[in-house]
Structure 1
Amino acid sequence: MTAKQIRAFLAVAQSLSFAQAGERLHLSQSALSLTIKALEESLGGRLFSRTTRQVSLTPEGEALLPLARRLLVDWDNAEDHLRQRFSLQQGRVTLAAMPSFACNLLPPILKTFHSAHPRLNVTINDVINEQVIEMVRDRKVELGIAFEPQPASQLTFTALYTDRFVAVVAADSPLAQCDSIDWPMLLQAPFITLQRPSTVRILLEEHLAACDLKLSVAVESHQLATVGRLVANGLGVSAMPALCVQQMRELGAHCMTLSHPTVERPIGILTKPDHELSAAAQALFDTLVSAPLFSAGRL
């Protein structure tokens, strides 16, 4: 059965007149008759008894009537639901993002997104970089925000900006009096950082090893907030992506430019290349790409 056939059946069943049903549906009586005939043939029997004077439902037609009404309501609801999704009046976006990004940069972007699309809902999974990649690859989320992955990830990466690592020290540390600091000087103090397999930790170790510098870790933690609080209390120093600067300051730590070597890496949106985004996810993707925060291309 098609929606057109069901509508034709209901129109005739309600009026018991092919002429009136044809006017209601803007169909000629011959076209309406052909539609009903096709429906009857597909079902295997007559739905209407027709004489020159009247039209009535057969027992099978009577049985079909309540079913047809429910089918048409479900059909109309499905059409309405999809129209709302395509017109961004309804829908949900699933997003995975590194906690540092989700906490520090995502809120103002989502504010802009919800101002433009107040009826769209967003589910945020704030997980470590490796889990962001895994969730996008396994299609558990439509969008991911992470550091640029290795080519072997087989995901599409759309760069938002390049994040440069900064030094994080206690506000009352003598180092806080400097405008900038280099790695050899920073590493003279006890170093506090995230535990493996954090991408931040791995990035630091790889860049420093390339410059014959060793990262000797005094304290390590799974949480950025814990690292920041430990540094703020004078237990050591750290290095964090620049997107964490505001968070580190709120925890009482001081951030400054860090160089020799400069550690940086692009951050962007991950999508699965063979998966078309929903209308809601595409809207969030476009909001992220056009965010003024990333217009300079670097934090």
Structure 2
Amino acid sequence: MNTTQLECFMSVANHLNFSRAAKQLQITQPAVSHQIKTLEDELGTALFHRSSKSVRLTQEGHMFTQYAEEILKLSGMSRARLRESQASKPMRFGMGCRSMGELNLLQPVLHNLKELEPGILPVLRLIPFDSLENLLSEGDIQVMFAFEEAAPKNQVYRELAWGSMSAVCAEDHPLAHYESVGVDQLKEGGRIAAGRPPVCPPSLCMVQGQIIGGKKPEQVIFCESREVMDALTQAGCAFSLAVDVPQLRMPGLRYIPLEGTEPVSFGVSYNMNQHKPILRQFLRLLEEEMKKRA
């Protein structure tokens, strides 16, 4: 049973004439007859007495009119409610992050974006990099932080800053008093909290691999996220490696440049075809916040 069948039934019941019902519904008379016939077959009873001169409702047809009218009314109300819901639905804007530093950067940006776009519904994803890339390509998020060397190739990349490869340690760690450190020095620098490739850009992972290769297994703590690495580093349990973007620094940590390494580009990747006005506002506010923190 569908609404087309019910609309045909109610029109014929009101006009008691198939030709007039077809004209009202703007379909052919055979189409109306077909809808009535399939409805009667589904219900297992005749709804109309038909003759060459007249059409009239059967007893079952009279009973069914009240049900058909209620069903059509509910159907119309449901469609209207759904249209209202779509009209008042907030603009969803998804952002992908890999660390608390990136989340902290977003807080003032979102505050200012909310003032400019009151109807926005911000959605934040803090998950591994590979998953973020999938969400971006599927349209679940519209923008994500990334290092250029690991940015999705099929999206637009926009640079925000350059970062230097650095050793990161607590302020009371033995490495903390150095102004710069070398790879060989870090091989002897105690326990390291190491991130797997999606957590760190490829060039940093290569350096990390060199350092890990010179350590005993008990001197390496493998971590699933940047948050775990930072927690162990802040606690003084280990040092770690990171691309030091000053605007993303975590409190209580020392960032020591790593000798013999090249700077890394940090920015955002986004799909230019989605939410263009809000995306432009977001990127402008993000760049302004980066300049404030520089």
TM-score over 0.5 (shorter chain)? yes
Q: Distance in 1 between matches of 2:247 and 2:234?
A: 13
Contact 2:145–2:268, Cα closer than 8 Å, also in 1? yes
The residue aligned with 2:220 is: 219
- Per-residue Cα deviation, 1:1-51 (whole angstroms, up to 9, x for no partner): 99xxx8xx99xx8xx9xxxxxxxxxxxxxxxx99725168554499xxxxx
Write the deviation string for residues 99-147 of structure 1: whole angstroms up to 9, x where unpaired: 345533222222233334445433322112122113334x272335142
1:228 lines up with 2:230 in the alignment? yes
- 1:168 and 1:248 in contact (8 A); partners too: no
Question: Which residue in the other structure is 1:24 paired with?
Answer: none
Is the contact between residue 148 and residue 266 of structure 1 (CA under 8 Å) also seen in structure 2? yes
Return the offset for 1:199.
3.8
| Cα distance between partner residues in 2 of 1:76 and 1:113 | 31
Q: Is the 8 A contact 2:184 2:211 kept in 1?
A: no
Q: Does 1:38 find its partner at 2:30?
A: no
CA contact (8 A) 1:133 1:144 kept: no
- Please show how residues 142-157 of structure 1 align to structure 2 within 5 Å: 142-148=141-147, 155-157=154-156
Alignment of 1:279-298 (within 5 A): 282=276, 285-291=279-285, 292-293=287-288, 296=291
**Amino acid in the other structure paired with 1:123:** V
CA contact (8 A) 2:194 2:240 kept: no
The 1-side partners of 2:102 and 2:190 are apart by 28
Please state whether the residue corresponding to 2:210 is helix, strand or coil: coil
AA aligned to 1:169 is: C
1:145-184 paired onto structure 2 within 5 Å = 145-148=144-147, 155-165=154-164, 166-173=166-173, 176-177=176-177, 180-184=179-183
Q: Which has more radius of gyration?
A: 2
Does structure 2 conserve the Cα–Cα contact (< 8 Å) formed by 1:161 and 1:294? no
Q: Read off the aligned partner of 2:131 and give its amino acid letter.
A: Q
CA contact (8 A) 1:102 1:126 kept: no
Structure 2 unaligned segments of length 5 or more: list them.
16-20, 37-56
What is the CA–CA distance in structure 2 between the aligned matches of 1:220 and 1:199, rounded to whole Å? Answer: 14
Match of 2:250 among 248, 251, 264: 248
- Identify the residue that residue 72 of structure 2 maps to in structure 1: 68
Q: Contact 2:151/2:157 (CA < 8 Å) preserved in 1?
A: no
Name the CA distance, whole Å, in 2 between partners of 1:189 and 1:245.
Answer: 26
DSSP-derived class of the 1:266 partner: strand
The total of aligned residue pairs comes to: 250
- Pairwise CA distance, 1:296: 5.0
On the 8 A contact 1:94/1:122 being kept in 2, the answer is yes
2:239 corresponding residue in structure 1 = 237
Q: CA deviation at 1:203?
A: 2.9
**Structure 1: which amino acid aligns with 2:242?**
M
Gaps of 5+ in 1: 17-32, 47-56
Distance 1:233 1:253 in 2: 10
- Alpha-carbon shift at residue 204 of structure 1 (Å): 1.0
Cα 1:167/1:127, change in 2 over 3 Å: same
Equivalent pair of 1:181/1:258 in contact (CA under 8 Å): yes
Partners of 1:162 and 1:152 in 2: how far apart?
14
* C-alpha distance in 2 between matches for 1:96 and 1:237: 26
**How many angstroms apart in 1 are the aligned matches of 2:158 and 2:102?**
16
2:265 is matched with which residue?
265
> Against the structure 1 CA distance between its residues 157 and 192, is the aligned structure 2 distance closer, same or farther, given a 3 Å change threshold?
farther
Give the TM-score of the pair, scaled to structure 1.
0.60
TM-score computed with the length of structure 2 as normaliser: 0.61
- C-alpha offsets along residues 57-116 of structure 1, whole Å, 9 cap, x if unaligned? 99587665333323332332233233224xxxx254444321345533222222233334
Q: In structure 2, what is the equivalent of residue 112 of structure 1? A: 112
- Structure 1 residue 224, shift from structure 2 partner: 3.0
**3-state SS in 1 of match to 2:200:** helix
User: What is the correspondence of 1:117-128 to structure 2 with a 5 Å cutoff?
Assistant: 117-128=117-128
SS of aligned partner of 1:214:
helix
Matches within 5 A, 1:6-45: 36-38=24-26, 41=29, 43-44=32-33
